[in-house]
Chain A
Amino acid sequence: MHIPDGFLDAKTALTTATLSAIAVSFALRHVRRELPPRRVPLLGLSAAFLFAAQMVNFPIAGGTSGHLLGGTLIAVLLGPSAAVVVVTTVLIVQCFLFADGGVLALGANIFNMGLVATLGGYAVYRCVNLMWPGPRGRTVALTVAGWSSTIFAAFSCAGQLAWSQTLVWEIAWPVMTSTHALIGLGEGIISALILIAITRTRPDLVATSSLGVTPVRWREFSFLCLLISLGLACFVAPFASSAPDGLETVAIQGGFAHRALAPLRSVLAADYQIPGLTSPALSTALAGMLGIAAVLGLALLISRLVLREASPKKMLRE
């Protein structure tokens, strides 16, 4: 999802760079104030970990393989402001050392993957985890959060491409969102599996604030979210209101894409056809909610399979 140079026009690049600079400097100040000095090297090491973990491949059907993106996982392990700093560092290194992602587009890339994906994913994680605490709830929450973080980032990336008139919104959104709905599924599952693996070796690392990072103050978090919504209002809002037809077709297409993913979906989709299709906003919201419900069901299934398999009782029995 790294946007290269030449795809964004001046106003998009400038807007995203400004917003990202404000947010990152804010996160840096927060981390410097809250993080005990003992934990400062952990930021650099976590960034290196993220980079190395991306080299561990997970086999997918047909010989292809995927890898972790990891913003949400780091946010859960270290807290959101620290995660913003870590992901920003990784993006800077990828940009200048490996030429992955453009220099002028760095602001946009930090906005998408460092802010929208990380903080959005963390918000989803907290919401689900509040409703459902405990280890199994944590696994489910991280799976859903990983999936939605990828979708959020794809959405904002599509908005930027459309705002700089490189792609038409009606094409950018469905292409980006449908491919990333699949990628995000892998992301959520991988993140959850890694969290389980860490919990098994060092349960103390996963418990809140054991790494010395205070979870978050809601004032700070809401300020960062405000910045994000400001950016999204720029990129996405103008298209969302002016293109109801595009949205509607995508909602229907999205329905088909999800049906292939989860059998749960087809059961729910029967109800969904009756009301609301006349209003595009409502139908889109419904489609989104159904998509999230499908992923939630999948997450439940996975957590049950994996946790049962790895429960200490069974290990003792063997």
Chain B
Amino acid sequence: MKCNLKFTPTPQLVVRKIIGTIILILLITLTPSTHPIWFGLEGILLLGLLWWRRVPPRCVLRRLLILSPFVAGTALAAQYSATGVDWKILALRSTLCLLTIIAFAETTAVSDLLRGLRLIRVPTLLVTTLALMHRYLFVLADESSRMNRARAARTFTTGRRLAWLQAASVAGQLFVRATERAERVYDAMCARGWKT
């Protein structure tokens, strides 16, 4: 679900984007906590970027809300442990880093990302695995929710123990189907001239 994709960038541009993202995250991580004004500047920069690329604020907010519990938990634990780390700074810093990755993820198509990864010499096997995973991620997720729906339609309300057994059988069936699909995918790849 990409929110804004206007043009397909060249792989070089994607590589630059990856490097830029990493540098920005490094900057945020290395900002000294004695000068909180810098966090404000970085935040304004990020919000400006998000506004410029027209990423809908609801997208960003939803993702931030899903991901914040761990940040909040650790920040809370840090408050009670006497390392001298200010939990507000900790939470602020990781929220800014989250914003950076969200901005990157929302504005980059996966196919472009894969091309960029190939360009920076990430091993082919890993890129192939990534590509196949992304291709079948939504297919298998659909399949699992379909199986769940079918199960819900055919069974009455059950006890908790039976519910575990059934959920496990759905997951097991999912693995079996994934394996069978992998065979067909291999045949299709060979038919298109794929070599290791």
What secondary structure prevails in chain A residues at the interface with B? helix
B residues near A85, Cβ cutoff 8 Å: 125-126, 129
**CB under 8 Å from chain A, chain B span 105-127:** 105, 110, 113, 123, 125-126
Taking a contact as CB atoms under 8 Å apart, the answer to whether B130 and A92 are in contact is yes
Question: How many Å from the CB of A133 to the closest CB on chain B?
Answer: 21
Taking a contact as CB atoms under 8 Å apart, the answer to whether A189 and B29 are in contact is no
- Chain B interface size band reads 35 or more
**CB under 8 Å from chain B, chain A span 120-171:** 161, 165-168, 170-171
| Bound Cα distance from A55 to B80, whole angstroms | 34
Taking a contact as CB atoms under 8 Å apart, the answer to whether B78 and A196 are in contact is no
- Contacts A96-B101, A171-B80, A193-B164; A4 near B129 (Cβ below 8 A): no
Taking a contact as CB atoms under 8 Å apart, the answer to whether A197 and B140 are in contact is no
Residue-wise interface mask of B (69-80) relative to A, using a CB-CB cutoff of 8 A (1 in contact, 0 not): 011001001101
Report if A239 contacts B (CB, 8 A).
no
Inter-chain contact total with CB atoms closer than 8 Å: 232
| Bound Cα distance from A37 to B196, whole angstroms | 7
Residue among A25, A40, A93, A171 with the highest chain B CB neighbour number at 10 A: A40
| Bound Cα distance from A202 to B176, whole angstroms | 7
Taking a contact as CB atoms under 8 Å apart, the answer to whether B97 and A55 are in contact is no
- Contacts A44-B135, A53-B174; A175 near B77 (Cβ below 8 A): yes
- Chain A interface size band reads 35 or more
A residues near B174, Cβ cutoff 8 Å: 49, 52-53, 56
Q: Which residues of A contact B (CB under 8 A)?
A: 2, 4-7, 10, 24-25, 28, 31-32, 37-49, 51-53, 55-59, 68, 77, 85-86, 88-90, 92-93, 95-100, 102-104, 161, 165-168, 170-172, 175, 189-190, 193-198, 200-202, 205, 211, 306, 309-310
18 contacts between A and B (CB under 8 A): A6-B94, A44-B130, A44-B132, A45-B136, A45-B179, A56-B144, A58-B167, A68-B171, A96-B113, A99-B98, A102-B97, A166-B85, A168-B83, A171-B81, A175-B77, A198-B176, A201-B172, A309-B165
